[in-house]
Structures are given as structure tokens and as C-alpha cells.
A and B are shown apart, each in its own frame.
Chain A
Amino acid sequence: MAKAPNSAQIWTSKTNAAGSASFSDRDSGFVRNTLAGLMPFAVGIAMASLLHFLLPGMVGLYYSRIVTDIGIAIIMAVSLNIVNGMTGQFSIGHAGFMTLGGYMAAFTSYYGSMCLWGNTEIHGGFLGTGEWLFVVSCIVGGLLAAGAGYVVGLPSLRLRGDYLAIVTLGFGEIIRVILQQTGKVIESAEALKTGGLSQMIPPPVGGALGFGGVPKYTNLFWVFTILTVTLVIAYRLKRSSFGRGMISVREDEIAAQAMGVNIARQKVLAFVIAAFFAGIAGGLFAHERGVILSPKDAGFQRSFDYVIMTVLGGRGSITGVMLAAGLLTALPEFLREFEQYRLIVYALLLIFMMLVRPQGLLGIHEIWDLWPRRRTTLPPTASLMHSSTMPSQESKR
């Protein structure tokens, strides 16, 4: 960022994270701009490949599994942060989106694999045909979750804070109950062909027992590639005029509306974007080794885990939430013998945070904001967002 635009330009400036604004000459800079915009993706994919090929050899399968879990948890927490942190809504049904997307993805890859190859074995190696089917099914899962996000986002236009929380909680429970009523998994390609379309109602995804037999495609490469995409999009969203609109909705809905922010659109889109990434994370989760997707995953307990990550990390801070998601996923693995105290510690942490540091570990800052820097003036978003440490409009009765 060469020059911080003044506050009057906040709503029109389209500066993004990659620093493309520093290319002042638009015409000749187009190619360079595009390349600079793609840089984070290239770096992320390179890092994902490195992790994929080196990590299992270095630390063994058990710890690579934990790293995979951390990646999925970060996708979930960062996407939930778009709704809870940036837009200031309060969703506690995020695991519902995840499980819905996961089921859809598993359905697509399981039965797609059966239709294409006649069995549900893993097809192709690294970046082979099977993995592309897996990616497509994750995206299908994400799209279904995004549709559900639209439906859940609609009541948010009329409901504030705690009412919305209940609706999202109810949504997760409804998903759980509905998934429990689904039919048995069809075991073989012959049965799939002879059974006809009628066996698709209710969808054969395993009912209360869970969806077993899904091909286990998830690996470090795909988790961290998708994580990169999620992070870049979340970060650019935060710095875009659209993201600032979201932040303004969080700070004061009435003022935002008066400034011409379409709060209905901001809220619903926040839900749709967050649900899309949650659905993809669900797809990754469903194809992970050692995981059997079950309706229980849609319940509120899992949703609370992600809420705790966003609250702990700081509402609106992407790096803070990443940090919290990583810590809260890794720590229980190393403290196995204290398993029954895990949630007690989480609960105390939540209460303690709210009493002592309600803005979360990093608050609204990103981790690099903590380093001393030469900049003399604060970036425009910072001045806008600093007010979140003040009691907001909501506290007035």
C-alpha cells in the first residue's frame, strides 16, 4: 500500500492485500497486478506441496493427521469469523453447514466413484482422476452448504444477536435430525444400478450410523491448498469495500444503513460465503482417514468448538483465529489424559476472556500489527475498527 486513502475514499477504494495499489500505472501494470494477485496462491500451493511431501516423512503419520485436522479447523474458524467476527452476527450452527457440505461431498464422491469406476477404491495417485473427483465433490458440498447459508441468513435480516443464535443452533439440530432419517448406504455398483431412482429417497447416506466407506482422498496438499484459498479470500474480503461494509454492520447497523450500506445483502452474503467454506471443510473432513461422518457432527458441541476459536482468537482477526484454531486443535492431542477436563478448561477460558479481554487474544488486529513499524498514521480500516473496543450500540437499552 503506497498511500493510505483518506477516510472519504473508504467506500470506493478497491485496494487489496497483495499491495497491487502500488502499481499506479493501470494499463501497463495489469499483467503485473494479476501476477501479484496470484502470488499468495502460488506461495500457498508451494507450501502445501512441501508439507504434503516432507511432513509425513519427518514427523510420522500421527502428527501429519493432527496437522490435517488443524488445517480443517482453521478453514472452519476463519469462515465462521466472517459471520461472527466481521459482520457481527452470531452463528452457533456452523458445524451444521460443515456436516451438510460433508455429506453432500461424500455422497458425490462415493456414488460418483461407483458410477465412473464401479467401485469406491481410491483412483489415481497424487493429482490423479480420483482426487479431481474429490475436489469437485468438495465444491458441490460447498455449494449446497452455501444454499443452506442463504436460507439461514434470511432470518438474520429480522433477528438480532441472541435470536439469530437460537435460529442457527436450531438449524444445526434440524440438520442432525434430518440426517438421522436417511437411508442405508448402497454397498455395490450392481445394487446401485438395479435399485433405480427410488432408492435415492431418502438419500442413502447411512442414517444414524454415519456414512462409512467414503474413499479417503483428503491429504495435506488439498487441505492446505484450500486453506490458502480461504485465507486469501477472507483477507481480501476484510480489506475490500465490501468487507468494510460488513465491519460497519458489526459496529452499528443503523449508522451503516444511513451511510448507504445494504445491510441485508451484507449479512446474507456473509452467511453464504462462510457456509460455502464450511461446506468445503466438511468435504475435506468427510474424506479424511479415520473419520466416519455421522449426524452427530452437526450438533451444537462441534459448533461451540469453532465459536470458542473465533472468540479466543479475536473477533475479526484472521491470524488470531488461525492461532486459536491451531492451538485448540493441537493441545487436546497432547493432553489426552486430561480429556474430561478439556471442555471445562474451554468453558472457563470463554468466561475468563469475556470478563477480562472480550475482544479476544489479538482483538481486531492481525498478528503483524503487533510488530513495531515505521508507519506514522494508522491504516484507514484500523481507525474505523478501533471503535469495536468501545461499548457498541447494542449495549444501550
Chain B
Amino acid sequence: MITINNLVKVYNGKVAVNISNLEIGNGIIGLVGNNGAGKTTLFRLLLDLVKSDRGEVLSNEKNVSENEDWKNYTAAYIDEGFLIPYLTPEEYFYFVGKLNNRSKADVDEMLAGFTTFFDGSILKSGKYIRDLSKGNQFKVGIAACLLQDPEVMILDEPFANLDPSSQIRLIQMMKALNEKKPMIILVSSHDLNNITDVCTRILLMEKGLIIKDLQTSSDTLNELEDYFRV
């Protein structure tokens, strides 16, 4: 459970995030909004990568900026800044595994499950992560999150850089995860079709505010399209 109380972040006099109260429970939660709406800043606030000007983020009732317990059950991929560019994908996976007390054998076993998702271009590719294409870097980041078997997973625009097959694979994986165990999956995206397909709840952001909080239904896609058509 993530709770946000009176959270405000201002950049150069411009409000980036301003959320008075928000509770996020288990399920796949989508975050939509145009560029500059504050989606990524919100994610960074949740991960204690940005200092809030006011308010707090509680993860399992503990303030994320005062306590590091959330790191034990939270995995995130926002951009390439989460990958170590000069490692091979394998080295990176083993490193992340080690931080989460997974042995190499465990990691190998989990990676075997990603064979179709990786499509032969990640493992044993003979490249450092910095030499992979952006889409493949995203795959590495997403797989590294899944490896951690987290209770909270945060992905920023995961569909944007993936090819259609991988998008479909990712949606299937997220749904399967959500059914397997109770967890929070927070995803932002510009792809309204994907987001209404995968999410149980959708938050619409505009200029730092959450202006809509929708439980996904058959109308949701139309409602969102109406909003964005303006």
C-alpha cells in the first residue's frame, strides 16, 4: 500500500506534482497524461530520487525518505539511468540478483523464463548494455525488475520503446504476475489501448494534479480519448 499525503514538488516556480491525497492498493495501476504532466516526477518521488517540497510518500506506512525498507520490495525502471551501461546484460542481472539475495542459479532459472521476451537479442549478445538498442535496454530494465520478485513495481512508459510482440508479451506477463500474487504495478504510458487493456485502475494527470481516478470499465477508453482529443 502506497499513501501520498499533500505531496508538492515545484521546479522553477512551476508545479510539477501536487497531490493532496492518494492511496494506491494492489492491482495494475495506469498513469496517463501529456508530456510535462508530472508522471515521471511522481515516480521519482515514490522512489525517493527527488526531494518533495511538501508532503510525504508512505510505502507500507513508512516514509520513503526517512527509511530504506521500501527498497526491499520495490523494483523500478524509469529510463536508461537505471542500467549500468558498461556491464553485459548478464552481469547486470547477476548484480541485481545479488542485491536481492538471489544466487546465480536462481537468476539463470528466472532468465530462462524470459526467452521469448528477450527474443535472442539480450543474453549472450556480446554487447555491453550501452551498445544495445533502446528497446532492448528497456527489456533488460524490465527483466531486472521482474527478477526481484517485487511487491511494488514501477515502470515508466514501458510500451514506448518495445516492438508490438514484446508489448503483448509484457502485458501478458503483468497480468499473470498480478494474478499470481497481490502486488502494486504502476505503469505510465501514452498508449491508451494498452493501458486500458492491462490496468484495473487509471489515474489521469494534468499539470501535476490527478484530475481523474477511474476504475477501468468498457467506457474508460472512450472517456480517455475524449479527454485527449481536445
The finding on whether chains A and B are genuine partners in a shared complex, rather than unrelated, reads no
Report A's interface with B, CB cutoff 8 A.
none
Report B's interface with A, CB cutoff 8 A.
none
